[in-house]
Homo-oligomer: A and B are copies of this chain.
Amino acid sequence: MGNSNEAQILAFDPSGSGDREQKELREHLRMVEAIVFASSDPVSVRALEERLPEGVELEPLMRELQQAYSGRGINLVRVGNNWAFRTADDLGFLLQREAVENKKLSRAALEVLAIVAYHQPVTRAEIEEIRGVSISRGTLDVLMETGWVKMRGRRRTPGRPVTYGSTEEFLDQFGLEEIGDLPGLEELKGAGLLRSQMPANFMIPEPHDADELNEDEDPLTTDDLEELGLLPPSGE
């Protein structure tokens, strides 16, 4: 293949001294390149032709572009009668390696998370009281899985309910230096997140996440953890 000529086109050399035809060619290449790039589906030959100036032949254009992308990190590929960009086959490993699916937290999980953060240490029953609805199974599990919520201890009340609190990773995730940086009542109002007129008895706690347990909290024991399924049973 004519290497010299090719290279010039591939680089789309803007200072290119090419004649008018060359310039037009470059412009048409730019156009199809952008269209295929921005499209959410492979682009049909017809759709491309429609958007090019009349009389421009598509086929040689696409082959030129395909040639330009061959050997690169992305390739222009033909899918049936359509065109699309795809990562070069041999680089797939770059994309697969950490292909972890990013999930959004459900609304309910966000609410529970926020309550844990503001009201910690807090028990499941207390969370339900604040929310006014019961927590579906799994919501707390999901939050523990995120690493943002942890079990702190057990409340020294009948039933010894587990208390929940936020973690260091929680602060990290939300860009907080300390839990006290969560905005208070006035700031939530100021940011427009709360109505400015709230009942006089409406309170937002000043959150604190000290590792030190409250007076009415007992530490979690190994037995507790096993019971909660957080540790594999040890005594076989």
Q: Which residues of A contact B (CB under 8 A)?
A: 3, 6-8, 10-14, 29-35, 37-40, 51, 68, 70-74, 85, 87-88, 91, 94-95, 97-98, 124, 135, 137-142, 144, 151, 153-154, 161-162, 168, 171-172, 175-177, 181, 183, 187, 189-193, 195-196, 208, 210-213, 218-222, 225-226, 231-235
Contacts and interface: CB of A to CB of B under 8 A. Distances in A.
Given A91-B31, A192-B139, A235 B220 contact: no
Stoichiometry, as copies per complex, reads 2
A56 to B, nearest CB: 13
Given A72-B30, A192-B137, A212 B235 contact: yes
27 contacts: A7-B8, A7-B11, A14-B71, A30-B71, A33-B73, A34-B95, A37-B74, A37-B85, A38-B87, A51-B94, A137-B189, A137-B192, A138-B192, A140-B191, A144-B191, A151-B191, A153-B177, A162-B187, A162-B190, A168-B226, A171-B222, A175-B221, A177-B221, A181-B218, A210-B234, A211-B234, A213-B235
A97 B191 CA distance: 36
Contact of A11 (B11, B91, B141, B212): B11
A130 to B, nearest CB: 16
